[in-house]
């Protein structure tokens, strides 16, 4: 009795305590930004137009290679507004019309849009069609240049301003006000390729120049008012042209002949075409090799590039050419900027070691420099690629210049008065690969000094927090506490934390630059541009691998990553390996390989310094082992016969399996090189099936158990194999866009293939289904997403694979005594008996990417992370995709957690991981396990970056952020007081009893 009398109130207390911890799936408003961060980027700038009117905010409009048009603040580089056009809506040109509209031409010149400059609202959109695809050119007559003080009044062509667009082999004149096409003009000449559309200032004429049939120069003169063809001239130059023109004046262009050794000055004054030939060797003494014209628009001057030397040449009337300057460094030339009625300025940016030199000149006066500055530049930014110039009027009425520079790493910088005003790391908009790395272990003494440094602040902070927990804080205090939580230095500390939340995300961008992002707040810890070497001038980054992950005995070594890059765009170009220290960002070593890298297989073995063995497959199907040490070779030889790989040839629908044979024979005599043999091949009938998606399990995925326990205590054994491949094929007809085929003509076949033996374990056909297929493979299940043409809806299917050969391990006593074979190593050459269960559900969204959460030990239940078409990440519990769901689950099944079957998957608004944010242009979702089993770190990247922590089964192993410590404290105090009081009471009662 005594036990219970104590137990019951205790139980009640605990129960009350539990009920006060109400379960939360989603975030509270004040938790936004605590564990997540979001960064907005735009990508590599292709074109920039400044808008620096006297009134209104100064801004620059940019278009980028990620198909973003954005308006940036010139003072700080922040984004005012931004629009991401689709991936097949590539921007061809942008400009500003009437000083208040941003005009964009996109989609190969077929869509012309106008956006409101201050807020980015779309004003109008028009579709421009034409007979055939061609170069797209956008031309806005610049009559109202208001950055200069001259207002030109004589140039009102129409009542409203006209945009001249050449696209799809047709010339259009479009009204700037409403996007209405005023007139259009076709060109009859066969194979006419337009190169330039020119409108001489102050005239009503439009010149359209280009080439036809490689050796014919064509010129059309058109009336700008009504599109009437005034004149058509053509001239033949026997040795042909290179397809590039440089405009030197409104009636002169410069071209190169097909060998790249003769400069041709073509003038078409008054409609008469005349050629002037100048061999390059005549004006440049030591020229060797073919020349290339650098596109520029500086009047009177053009630039050519021979090898790596940039040569500026001036045209002095009647086709006379004169070299004005030769520059040996990498140089970028800006657009021409009219600074007064007759003067145009332009800028040159040269790269020289750790500095860049800026020069601004007047077009007609080469020797006078308007601006000459040198600015220290981070070497990791590489060389300048593009420069855009803009001017402002200083207080003394002289011209000042600001330059917008795009660097090799795709970053964007604004330079003014010899300093970098702001910079944007826009390379992060195009991430290719991501991997995670640990931070250094914390050293003693560092954090203590920091605390002592601002002890007062620390005390104040804790006082505020105490106030907050005791609900005594005023609204100002609450705001202060919130900002303190958001800026907590604990978050962005450069040391490992106990829970493993703080890590480094190592990302490789398309520009070939590595960044290390801190998971706490997303700041860039270091960045490293892949080095150019003698052997490789332009390495293209491909992939990232964990090279060395030290733990235990090798803790004093820094972890490193392996960057695989390729020397040039073709697939058989030699590869380059770079090893980068993840703590410091220093390149430890770089190897230029003599073979290509087609596939990389990280092996499950490490050497004594914890370097992971990697097998690199080249284009001749030789396997090369790295690191090239005898120790690695020793380890590798032991596992030699157990290593297999597969290759997918998606163009001819074949999947092949390979194994290692022997040491390389023939000319490549190398101890670390091995020949391969083909083991098996799966050939899909090319007339009915085409591979669209292949997925395997993630290499580092942890699985906790092989058993799945049913409601009735029965056990099913999961078929957990790393050597399973999911392949989805679609009918070749149905590989196009959704809706291009009828349901009868389209199908989707899903396969599960054993990589080692090539055995097809499962095959299922979805009739009337169409791609694109997105799939994710984890543990013993695959989830894939496709379009159902009959139901006109998207569908998600799940396949779960179970091992039937172990199903008879049911004797408890055998299991107790350990007499079973469930943990013995298995070979895939023993015939597996598998059964599969599958189910399909409708899903509302189309999908950009699918990932699955991963935790340290694989105990926590899984969630699917779905990148939706709205660029958000949706977390969907795996329990919704359970093939054992039925319409009426039994009581036992309900207890097990099986959800009654519904035809479509629910989308719960609270389960959007990205809450109110959007990850524009979402491309990939990466999950990294934290050290805390319940938590997984999620990184979504596209044009934007987003990072957060997720706990799919809630944080069962730690107290949540909103845990009420005050309540706990009060409870403890109350309990102690109660114990004391009851003790006194009982003593008194005993005494009274004794006196009775």
Partner 1 sequence: MEKGKGVMGSGRRWAVDFSDNSTALSSRDIRDPPGFTRASVDQDDSTVSRQKKDAESNWKAQKAWEVAQAPFKNLLMMGFMMWMAGNTVHLFSIGITFSALWQPISALQGVGKVFEPYKDGKVELLGPKLLFIALNLGGLALGVWKLNTLGLLPTHASDWVSSLPPAQEVEYSGGGIPL
Give the interface with partner 1 as residue ranges (CB under 8 A).
Answer: 3-4, 7, 11, 14-15, 18, 542-543, 564, 566, 571, 597-604, 615, 617, 639, 642-648, 650, 658, 694, 696, 699, 703-707, 709-710, 713-715, 717-718, 720-723, 755-756, 809-812, 815-816, 822-829, 895
* Minimal distance, residue 958 CB to partner 1, in Å: 20
Compare residues 800 and 871 and give the one whose CB is closer to partner 1: 800
* Minimal distance, residue 760 CB to partner 1, in Å: 16
The dihedrals phi and psi of 492, each to the nearest 5 degrees, come to -105, 20
Compare residues 304 and 852 and give the one whose CB is closer to partner 1: 852
Residue 932 neighbours by CB distance under 10 Å: 21
SS3 category, 548:
strand
* Minimal distance, residue 565 CB to partner 1, in Å: 10
Compare residues 109 and 627 and give the one whose CB is closer to partner 1: 627
> Distance between CA 935 and CA 500 in Å, rounded?
9
* Minimal distance, residue 779 CB to partner 1, in Å: 9
Burial class (CB in 10 A: 0-12, 13-18, 19+), 922: buried
* Minimal distance, residue 575 CB to partner 1, in Å: 9
HSE-CB of 695 using CA atoms within 13 angstroms: 26
Compare residues 815 and 959 and give the one whose CB is closer to partner 1: 815
- SS3 string of 455-516? HHHHHHHHHHHHHHHCCCCCHHHHHHHHHHHHCCCCCCCCCCCCCCCCCEEEEEECCCEEEE
Kind plus residue range of the DSSP H or E element containing 12: helix 2-20
Compare residues 698 and 879 and give the one whose CB is closer to partner 1: 698
Compare residues 213 and 600 and give the one whose CB is closer to partner 1: 600
End-to-end alpha-carbon separation of the chain, Å?
A: 26
Compare residues 320 and 810 and give the one whose CB is closer to partner 1: 810
Could you write out the DSSP letters of every residue in 888-947? S--HHHHHHTPPPP-SB----GGGBTTTT---TT--EEEEEE-SSTT-EEEEEESSSEEE
* Minimal distance, residue 822 CB to partner 1, in Å: 5
Phi-psi region of 954 (alpha: psi -120 to 50; beta: other; left: phi over 0): left
* Minimal distance, residue 806 CB to partner 1, in Å: 9
User: Among residues 714, 700, 633, which one has the least CA distance to residue 927?
Assistant: 700
* Contact partners, residue 529, CB within 8 Å, separation at least 6: 379, 380, 381, 382, 408, 409, 511, 512, 513, 514
* Minimal distance, residue 737 CB to partner 1, in Å: 22
* Minimal distance, residue 854 CB to partner 1, in Å: 15
> Distance between CA 346 and CA 363 in Å, rounded?
7
Compare residues 5 and 153 and give the one whose CB is closer to partner 1: 5
Could you write out the DSSP letters of every residue in 575-635? EEEEEEETTT--EEEEEEEEEE-SEEEEEEEE-TT-BEEEEEE-TTS-EEEES--HHHHHH
> Distance between CA 279 and CA 335 in Å, rounded?
27
Phi-psi region of 906 (alpha: psi -120 to 50; beta: other; left: phi over 0): beta
Compare residues 8 and 352 and give the one whose CB is closer to partner 1: 8
- Are the beta carbons of 699 and 724 closer than 8 angstroms? no
Tokens 């064509």 map to which residue?
A: 218
Compare residues 822 and 979 and give the one whose CB is closer to partner 1: 822
Compare residues 75 and 677 and give the one whose CB is closer to partner 1: 677
Kind plus residue range of the DSSP H or E element containing 660: strand 654-663
> Distance between CA 542 and CA 536 in Å, rounded?
15
* Minimal distance, residue 329 CB to partner 1, in Å: 33
* Minimal distance, residue 604 CB to partner 1, in Å: 6
* Minimal distance, residue 173 CB to partner 1, in Å: 47
- Are the beta carbons of 397 and 343 closer than 8 angstroms? no
Compare residues 525 and 596 and give the one whose CB is closer to partner 1: 596
Quick one: tokens of 162?
Answer: 């006209």
SS3 category, 810:
coil
Cα 675 to the center of its chain, rounded Å: 36
* Minimal distance, residue 11 CB to partner 1, in Å: 5
* Minimal distance, residue 613 CB to partner 1, in Å: 11
Compare residues 493 and 708 and give the one whose CB is closer to partner 1: 708
Compare residues 100 and 698 and give the one whose CB is closer to partner 1: 698
């Amino acid at each position: 009795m005594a036990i219970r009398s104590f137990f019951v109130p205790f139980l009640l207390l605990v129960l009350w305590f539990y009920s006060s911890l109400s379960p939360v799936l989603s975030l509270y408003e004040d938790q936004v930004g605590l564990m997540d961060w979001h960064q907005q980027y735009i990508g590599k700038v292709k074109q920039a137009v400044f808008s620096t009117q006297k009134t209104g905010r100064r801004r620059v409009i940019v278009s980028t290679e990620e198909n973003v048009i954005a308006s940036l603040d010139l003072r700080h580089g922040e984004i005012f507004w931004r629009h991401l056009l689709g991936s097949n809506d590539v921007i061809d040109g942008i400009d500003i019309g009437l000083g208040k509209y941003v005009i964009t031409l996109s989609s190969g010149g077929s869509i012309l849009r106008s956006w409101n400059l201050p807020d980015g609202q779309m004003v109008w959109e028009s579709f421009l069609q034409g007979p055939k695809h061609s170069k797209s050119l956008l031309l806005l007559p610049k009559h109202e240049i208001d950055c200069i003080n001259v207002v030109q009044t004589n140039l009102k062509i129409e009542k409203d301003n006209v945009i001249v667009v050449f696209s799809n082999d047709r010339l259009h004149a479009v009204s700037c006000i409403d996007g209405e096409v005023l007139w259009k003009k076709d060109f009859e000449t066969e194979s006419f390729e337009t190169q330039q559309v020119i409108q001489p200032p102050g005239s009503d004429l439009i010149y359209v120049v280009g080439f036809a049939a490689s050796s014919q120069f064509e010129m059309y003169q058109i009336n700008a008012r009504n599109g009437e063809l005034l004149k058509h001239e053509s001239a033949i130059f026997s040795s042909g042209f290179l397809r590039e023109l440089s405009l030197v004046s409104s009636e002169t262009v410069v071209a190169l002949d097909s060998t790249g050794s003769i400069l041709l000055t073509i003038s078409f004054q008054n409609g008469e075409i005349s050629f002037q030939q100048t061999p390059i060797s005549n004006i440049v003494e030591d020229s060797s090799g073919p020349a290339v014209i650098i596109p520029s628009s500086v009047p009177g001057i053009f630039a050519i590039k021979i090898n790596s030397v940039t040569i500026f040449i001036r045209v002095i009337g009647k086709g006379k050419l004169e070299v004005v300057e030769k520059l040996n460094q990498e140089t970028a030339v800006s657009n021409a900027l009219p600074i007064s009625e007759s003067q145009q300025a332009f800028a040159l940016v040269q790269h020289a070691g750790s500095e860049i030199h800026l020069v601004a000149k007047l077009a007609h006066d080469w020797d006078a420099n308007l601006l000459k500055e040198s600015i220290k530049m981070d070497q990791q930014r590489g060389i300048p690629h593009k420069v855009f110039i803009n001017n402002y009027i200083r207080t003394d009425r002289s011209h000042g210049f600001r330059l917008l520079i795009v660097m090799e790493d795709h970053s964007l910088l604004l330079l003014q008065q010899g300093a970098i005003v702001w910079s944007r790391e826009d390379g992060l908009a195009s991430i290719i690969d991501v991997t995670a790395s640990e931070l250094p272990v914390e050293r003693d003494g560092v954090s203590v000094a920091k605390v002592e440094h601002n002890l007062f602040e620390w005390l104040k902070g804790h006082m505020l927090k105490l106030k907050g927990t005791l609900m005594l804080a005023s609204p100002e205090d609450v705001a202060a506490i919130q900002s303190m939580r958001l800026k907590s230095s604990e978050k962005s500390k450069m040391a490992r934390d106990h829970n493993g939340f703080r890590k480094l995300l190592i990302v490789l961008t398309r520009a070939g630059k590595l960044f290390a992002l801190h998971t706490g707040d997303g700041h860039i810890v270091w960045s490293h541009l892949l080095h150019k070497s003698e052997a490789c001038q332009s390495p293209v980054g491909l992939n990232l691998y964990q090279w060395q992950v030290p733990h235990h005995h090798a803790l004093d070594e820094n972890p490193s990553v392996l960057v695989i890059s390729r020397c040039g765009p073709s697939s058989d170009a030699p590869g380059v390996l770079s090893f980068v220290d993840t703590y410091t960002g220093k390149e430890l070593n770089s190897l230029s390989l003599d073979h290509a890298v087609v596939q990389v297989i990280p092996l499950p073995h490490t050497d004594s310094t914890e370097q992971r063995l990697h097998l690199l497959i080249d284009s001749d199907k030789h396997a090369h082992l790295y690191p090239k040490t005898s120790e690695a070779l020793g380890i590798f030889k032991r596992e030699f016969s157990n290593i297999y790989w597969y290759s997918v040839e998606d163009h001819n629908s074949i999947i092949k399996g390979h194994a290692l044979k022997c040491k390389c024979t023939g000319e490549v005599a190398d101890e670390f090189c091995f020949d391969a043999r083909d083991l098996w091949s799966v050939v899909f009938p090319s007339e009915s099936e085409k591979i669209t998606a292949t997925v395997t399990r993630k290499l580092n995925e942890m699985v906790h158990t092989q058993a799945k326990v049913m409601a009735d205590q029965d056990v099913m054994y999961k078929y957990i194999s790393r050597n399973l491949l999911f392949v989805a094929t679609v009918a070749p007809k149905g590989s196009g866009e959704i809706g291009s085929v009828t349901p009868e003509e389209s199908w989707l076949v899903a396969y599960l293939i054993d990589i080692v033996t090539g055995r097809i374990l499962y095959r299922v056909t979805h009739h009337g289904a169409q791609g694109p297929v997105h799939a994710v493979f984890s543990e013993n299940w695959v989830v894939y997403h496709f379009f159902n043409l009959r139901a006109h809806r998207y569908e998600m299917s799940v396949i779960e694979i179970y091992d039937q050969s172990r199903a008879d391990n049911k004797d408890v006593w055998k299991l107790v005594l350990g007499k079973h074979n469930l943990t013995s190593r298995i070979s895939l050459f023993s015939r597996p008996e598998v059964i599969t269960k599958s189910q399909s559900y409708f899903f509302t969204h189309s999908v950009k990417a699918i990932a699955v959460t991963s935790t340290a030990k694989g105990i926590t239940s899984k969630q699917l992370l779905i990148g939706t078409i709205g660029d958000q990440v949706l977390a969907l519990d795996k329990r919704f995709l359970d093939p054992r769901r039925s319409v009426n689950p039994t009581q036992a099944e309900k207890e097990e957690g099986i959800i009654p079957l519904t035809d479509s998957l629910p989308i719960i608004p609270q389960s959007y991981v990205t809450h109110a944010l959007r990850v524009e242009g979402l491309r990939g979702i990466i999950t990294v396990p934290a050290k805390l089993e319940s938590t997984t770190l999620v990184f979504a990247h596209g044009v934007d970056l987003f990072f957060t922590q997720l706990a799919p089964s809630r944080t069962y192993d730690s107290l949540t952020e909103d845990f009420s410590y005050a309540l706990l404290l009060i409870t403890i105090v109350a309990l102690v007081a109660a114990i004391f009081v009851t003790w006194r009471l009982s003593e008194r009662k005993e005494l009274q009893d004794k006196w009775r």
